[in-house]
Amino acid sequence: MGAGHGHRLHYHGHSVVHRAPAQCKIIALVLFVLAVVATPRTEYWAYGVDAVALAVVIAVSQVPPLYIAKRMVVEIPFVVFAVLLPFIAVGERTQFLGMTVSQHGLEAGLSLLCKITLGVIAALLLASTTEPRDIIAGLEGKLPRQIVQIMAMMVRYLDVTSDQLRRMRIARESRGFVASDPRHWPVLAQSAGAFFVRSYERGERVHLAMLSRGYTGSLPGLTTTEAVPRHWAGAMLLPALAAAAASSAWWLR
Amino acid sequence: MTAGTPSTVPVLQVSGLAYAYPDGHQALYGVDLSLARGERVSLLGPNGAGKTTLVLHLNGILEAGEGSVEVSGVRVTKQTIADVRRQVGLVFQDPDDQLFMPKVADDVAFGLANMGIKGSELTDRVQHALEQVGMAEFADRPPHHLSYGQRRRVAVATVLAMEPEILVLDEPSSNLDPASRRELADIVLSLDITVLMVTHDLPYALELCPRSVVLSDGAIVADGATGDILADEDLMRAHRLELPFGFDPRAIPHPA
């Protein structure tokens, strides 16, 4: 039983967006999200500009829009909150779709919805065009080393441990066990315990293997794609446009 | 043989090694073992005989309770540990324990970087080690996307890159399909290096190692030509060693 191939977020491709160094894309994402968040809340045309720009980048990346749309379910809890806002907020009342709602809450809800959606789409675009290991390598120098190392280990062993968890579940089910009601929870708890111990032991073995190769507490750098000014210029197009939209929205208000 | 190194100094010398785990379980009772340069030796023994415990002493992961381990005449102590770990290359049984970096090349570079090697020498040695195990074209792949046999070969490369004096392989043929098993044997035979191989795969030991050592209940009970040991039925039975069905070591000519 080999490890699974590919990741659920990454969409394999060779577009310009895929090839761009991860560090450029990460910085571009952070700046884009900052620009979107800084957009004045009722200037909806600015969100439109951001959305069109993002759509162009998605088209260039050749990631199918449906692929991204399906993965937007992570947004749902925030959408629920945004939808609730007009009803729970206080202040001046207004009519919206035949209901009396809070004017302030309605504006806040709508802009929240726009900002979250743009942010989530941009983040998904990064995840679909960048392998997890490259994202981590790209974070090097931007986050404390220890955190980057822990994340690198996590990405490496996520497949190994989830595969182990899957094998344990299959082995349980092969013996006629399917967890369906709380009486089965003790078995699941036992499994979780065994899984924890095994993962811990693996951690120990990994550490021994590292010591055997002379590990003294610091990991060497990860190999990354060198980012040249051309890469940075390309990556900054999207956040620059979003920043321009946000600042002109403030100006025209 | 390296010029200037007297042939009388064994590359590995274990003398009177005893060890008890912190919980009181005594795993080794006075083990003596000597490996000459260039030898290939298999370490045989039933489960729980103390093979892994012995192996973990060879590069100072475990500290000898009594007795000593010397690598090329240098005693393994806290002061010499960095050098010893460069000279004794341990390949663990589960390649997933050994390969933890996001890319194969990073993993092979790990030991070298710990030795302070940088730049073009680092990339050259990574490339060379991967070539030695026939995995050069996989340098940029994540290890978890490789097959088990490929991962085992990369695990060997991670250690070969450090150019050790002794290569210690823990169950190298376990979980491999017959073709991968043979490919690994070809790699081991192609290396000009001292090899200590822990294994339950007795035909593999006969194929690769002219000499074998049997460890049972924490003590060495036999040390001799692999063919002779495998043909000694009383010894084999006494130490829970069994040949595969239909395998007759006497029917096989001694490997060169």
**Predicted confidence (pLDDT) per residue in A12-25, tens digit:** 888 888 988 888 99
Q: Identify whether A127 is part of a domain.
A: yes
- Position A214 scores a pLDDT of 85
Q: Which domain holds residue B68?
A: 12-240
Task: Say yes or no for a CB contact (<8 Å) between A220 and B102.
Answer: no
Cβ(B44)–Cβ(B213) under 8 Å? yes
Give the neighbor-by-neighbor strand order of the sheet with B194-198: B88-91, B166-170, B194-198, B40-44, B211-216, B219-225
Task: Say yes or no for a CB contact (<8 Å) between A213 and B109.
Answer: no
Q: Which domain holds residue A188?
A: 144-212
- pLDDT, one tens digit per residue, over B110-160 is 888 888 888 899 999 999 999 999 999 999 888 888 999 999 999 999 999
How many C-beta atoms surround the C-beta of residue A135 within 10 A? 19
In this structure, are A47 and A116 located in the same domain? yes
User: Which amino acid does the sequence have at B46?
Assistant: P
Cβ(B217)–Cβ(B236) under 8 Å? no
Task: Say yes or no for a CB contact (<8 Å) between B111 and A213.
Answer: yes
Q: How many domains does chain B have?
A: 1
Is B231 in a helix, a strand, or coil? helix
Report the residue from A3, A137, A208 with minimal CB separation from B102: A137
Taking the Cβ of residue A228 and every Cβ of chain B, the question of whether any pair is shorter than 8 Å is answered with no
Here the ipTM equals: 0.72
In this structure, are A85 and A205 located in the same domain? no
What is the average per-residue pLDDT within B92-108? 86
In this structure, are A43 and A156 located in the same domain? no
What is the average per-residue pLDDT within A72-90? 86
Q: Identify whether B177 is part of a domain.
A: yes
- pLDDT, one tens digit per residue, over B68-78 is 999 999 999 98
In this structure, are A132 and A243 located in the same domain? yes
Q: How far is B228 from chain A (nearest CA, A)?
A: 33
User: Which amino acid does the sequence have at A246?
Assistant: A
The verdict on pTM exceeding 0.80 is no
Taking the alpha carbons at both ends of chain B, their separation in whole angstroms is 18
Q: Identify whether A1 is part of a domain.
A: no
Taking the Cβ of residue B144 and every Cβ of chain A, the question of whether any pair is shorter than 8 Å is answered with yes
Q: Identify whether B136 is part of a domain.
A: yes
- Position A221 scores a pLDDT of 64
Assign residue B40 the CATH number of its domain.
Answer: 3.40.50.300
Task: Say yes or no for a CB contact (<8 Å) between B100 and A210.
Answer: yes
- Position B256 scores a pLDDT of 46
Nearest to B144 by CA among B201, B98, B187: B98
% of chain B beyond a pLDDT of 70? 96
What is the average per-residue pLDDT within B218-225? 95
In this structure, are A60 and A23 located in the same domain? yes
In this structure, are A57 and A131 located in the same domain? yes
In this structure, are A199 and A92 located in the same domain? no
Q: Identify whether A119 is part of a domain.
A: yes
Taking the Cβ of residue B226 and every Cβ of chain A, the question of whether any pair is shorter than 8 Å is answered with no
- pLDDT, one tens digit per residue, over B173-218 is 999 999 999 999 999 999 999 999 999 999 999 999 999 999 999 9
Q: B189: which residues sit within 8 A by CB, 6+ positions away? A: B208
What is the C-alpha separation between A140 and A185, in angstroms, rounded? 41
Q: Identify whether B253 is part of a domain.
A: no
Cβ(B128)–Cβ(B108) under 8 Å? no
Task: Say yes or no for a CB contact (<8 Å) between B162 and A214.
Answer: yes
Cβ(B230)–Cβ(B200) under 8 Å? no
Q: Identify whether A120 is part of a domain.
A: yes
Q: How many domains does chain A have?
A: 2
Taking the alpha carbons at both ends of chain A, their separation in whole angstroms is 61
